[in-house]
Amino acid sequence: THSPSQYDNYISQNTALGQDSDGGYGGGIEVLGPAVANFSSVLALNTAPNGGGIAAIATENGPATVNVYTTDPNSPVSIYGNIATGWGGGIYLRPYIGNQNDARLCMNDFALDANTASDGSALYLWHDGYLGAVAYLNTPSECTPAPDAVACAPGTACNEMNDNVTQLEDGTPTDGSTVRVMLDGAFSASRFAARRNNSHGGNLIEFFAESGVSIGRDYVRLHDCVLADNIVGDHLLNGEQDGNGTQMILDTCTVANNQLSGGAAMAVIGADVNFIEVTNSIVYQPDHEVVEFHGAPGDLTSEYVLTNSAASLSGGFGIVEGTPAFVDVANGDYHLVRTSPGVDMAPVLGDVDLDGNPRAVDLLDIPNGWGTMDVGAYEIQTQIGTCAISDTIFCNGFDGL
C-alpha cells in the first residue's frame, strides 16, 4: 500500500475469526511465509485473537517478513487502535523452526499507538522451539530501507510507541507487557519514544531468553530513546534467561517519570541476563534503583549515567547522582535545560540524537565533564548568544535555558 495522503488507503475495522489457540491471526493483515509484505499506510481498529493489526507467520515453505515504513513525511505509517484478544495487539510474529525460517519485522519512521492485547499490546515476538522472532525498529544495519521510504517531517507524531494497554477483551488488566520478546528472539530499537503505555501488572519490555542453542540472538538493545510516563506493575525493563550469552543494552536513552507499582524495592531494570550495559543515559526514577542484576559484577557495564541513585551501578565509571532538570515534565518535554548536570557530560559519539540533531555539541558556557556530549536522548544545540545551523529561524540565544 501507499501513503494515506496520496490514496487515502486504510485497512480498518476488520476481524480475523478463530480461537486463540486455533487460527484467528492478523485482523488487518496476515503474512504467511514465504512472503514479504510492505506496508506504508494506516492500519486501524482491527481485531484478531493474535496479531490484531498484523500477524507474520513463517512456515515450512519459507520466512515471513513485514516492512513497515513511511512514504509521506507528513503522514507517518500508523498501526493504531488494534485489538488482540490473545497476543500482539499491534503486531504478532512467529517463526518456524523446521527450516529456521524467520518471522521478521523491519519498522522505520512509524507510529505504533493505542493497541490492546492480553500480552504484547504493541508487539509480540513469539518463538518456535529455540528459534525466536526478530524485530528491528530504525535499525538500518539489520534492515535495508525500502526505496520509497522517507523520514518523517520535523514536528510530526513519529517514531512513537504510545498509549498501548495490556488487558483482556472485557477490560480486565493483565500482567502482560507492551513489548514481549520470547525465547531466542531479538529486539533492537533506536530513535523512538515509548510513553503512557499501561502494562498494569507487567513490564514495558519483557525479554525471556533461552540460549541453550545459540544462533546469535537473545538480546534487547535500545538506543536514542525516551521511556517516560508509562505504568508498569514490575520492572520497566525485564530480562530473564535460561542459558548463556543473553544481553540487554540501554544507551543514550532518557528514562523518567514512570510509575512502577511494585513498590520502592522494584528496580527500573530487572536483569537476570548474562550481560547488561547502561551507558550515556539518564535513569531518573526517585525511590528506585537503576538495575537489579543477578550476574557477575564484571558483566555489568555502566558508564556516564545521570541518576537519582548510583548504588546499583557501583563499579561503574562516570556515574553522577543528581536531578536531570528537564524542560517541562508536566507536558512531556524531556529535553535538558542548560543547568542540568547531564549537559556536556560524556565522551563524543559520532551519531545524532532523537531529534535527528548532531551529538556532542560543546556548549561553550558549560564546563565539560568527561566529554562534550549530553547524556540521554537529546542534545542541546544552541550556544548562548549564537544560533546553531539547525535552528536559524527561531534561535534567539536563549534556546535550551
In the chain, % helix, strand, coil (3-state, to 5) comes to 5, 40, 55
Q: Which residues contact 170 (CB under 8 A, 6 or more apart)?
A: none
Averaged pLDDT in 10-residue chunks for the chain of 401 residues: 50 85 86 96 96 97 96 95 97 93 96 98 93 94 90 94 95 95 93 96 89 70 98 94 80 97 87 92 96 88 97 94 97 97 94 92 94 97 65 40 42
Question: Can you give the pLDDT at residue 7?
Answer: 42
C-alpha angle 301/358/332, rounded to 5°? 75
Q: Are strands 317-321 and 326-328 parallel, antiparallel or unpaired?
A: unpaired
Question: Can you give the pLDDT at residue 211?
Answer: 56
Q: Which three cell numbers stand for residue 133?
A: 522472532
Contact 25, 48 (CB under 8 A): yes
Q: Which residues contact 160 (CB under 8 A, 6 or more apart)?
A: 110, 111, 112, 113, 192, 193, 194, 195
| Rounded Cα gap, residues 105 and 221, in angstroms | 15
| Rounded Cα gap, residues 278 and 280, in angstroms | 7
Q: Which three cell numbers stand for residue 45?
A: 481498529
Beta-bridged to residue 104, according to DSSP, are 65, 134
Q: Which three cell numbers stand for residue 219?
A: 538480546
| Alpha-helix runs per DSSP H in 74-190 | none
Question: Can you give the pLDDT at residue 242?
Answer: 63
Secondary structure letter of residue 315 according to DSSP: T
Q: Are strands 64-68 and 35-39 parallel, antiparallel or unpaired?
A: parallel
Question: Can you give the pLDDT at residue 216?
Answer: 67
| Rounded Cα gap, residues 253 and 259, in angstroms | 17
Q: Are strands 134-137 and 110-113 parallel, antiparallel or unpaired?
A: unpaired
Ramachandran region, residue 275 (left: φ > 0; alpha: ψ -120 to 50; beta: rest): beta
Q: Are strands 186-195 and 219-228 parallel, antiparallel or unpaired?
A: parallel
Secondary structure letter of residue 101 according to DSSP: B
| Rounded Cα gap, residues 33 and 104, in angstroms | 11
Question: Can you give the pLDDT at residue 244?
Answer: 67
Question: Can you give the pLDDT at residue 215?
Answer: 61
C-alpha angle 134/138/140, rounded to 5°? 85
Number of continuous H segments (helices) and E segments (strands) in the chain = 1, 33
Q: Which three cell numbers stand for residue 323?
A: 536531578
- 98: helix, strand or coil: coil
Q: Which three cell numbers stand for residue 371?
A: 566529554
Q: For residue 340, which phi and psi values (nearest 5 degrees)?
A: -65, 140
Beta-bridged to residue 92, according to DSSP, are 55, 124
Q: Which three cell numbers stand for residue 218?
A: 537473545
